[in-house]
Structure 1
Amino acid sequence: MSWYWRLEDPSGAEVDPASVGVVLAESDNQGDAESWLGEHWRLLLERGVATVTLFDGDSEVYGPMGLAAT
């Protein structure tokens, strides 16, 4: 399967990655997907992404997960 993140704005609506200037990498495994987020979460937050949800193919794995520190 392909692992990827869905980006969401503060209202929970899906954000088009191109609209915030990022290319979402589809990963072969959960660890690679989580590493990608670890490298890009600050940029996503700066560009208005509030939460992310991880998918494995069509299956939601977890989320939404907030990007802001609490």
Structure 2
Amino acid sequence: MIRPRWEWALEGEDGARLDASLSPVFSTQFDAEQWLGEHWRGLAAAGAVQARLLSEGQQVTPSVSFRTP
């Protein structure tokens, strides 16, 4: 049985993707979203300004911005 892979593509201020090792790979969308909710502040401190949720390499949700208005 093949399990889906979910991961966050984290991007810096210049739009470049940050180190992929910043995001673990998840087996469910729920786990991926929960992880981001718990870790976004640390990711922002590491230079991430937005995240895109990918499933099998395809973006599946709108981008999430770490910027505050």
TM range (shorter): 0.7 to 0.9
The answer for the alignment partner of 2:16 in structure 1 is 13
Letter paired with 1:6: A
Over 6 Å off, 4+ runs: none
Q: Percent identity?
A: 33
Higher-strand-fraction structure: 1
> For this pair of structures, how many residues does the alignment match?
66
The two structures have a TM-score, normalised by structure 2, of 0.83
The two structures have a TM-score, normalised by structure 1, of 0.82
Query: In the TM superposition, what is the alpha-carbon distance from 1:46 to its structure 2 partner?
Result: 1.0
Unmatched segments (≥5 aa) in structure 1: none
Between structure 1 and structure 2, the one with the greater Rg is: 2
Unmatched segments (≥5 aa) in structure 2: none
Letter paired with 2:32: A
The answer for the alignment partner of 1:56 in structure 2 is 55
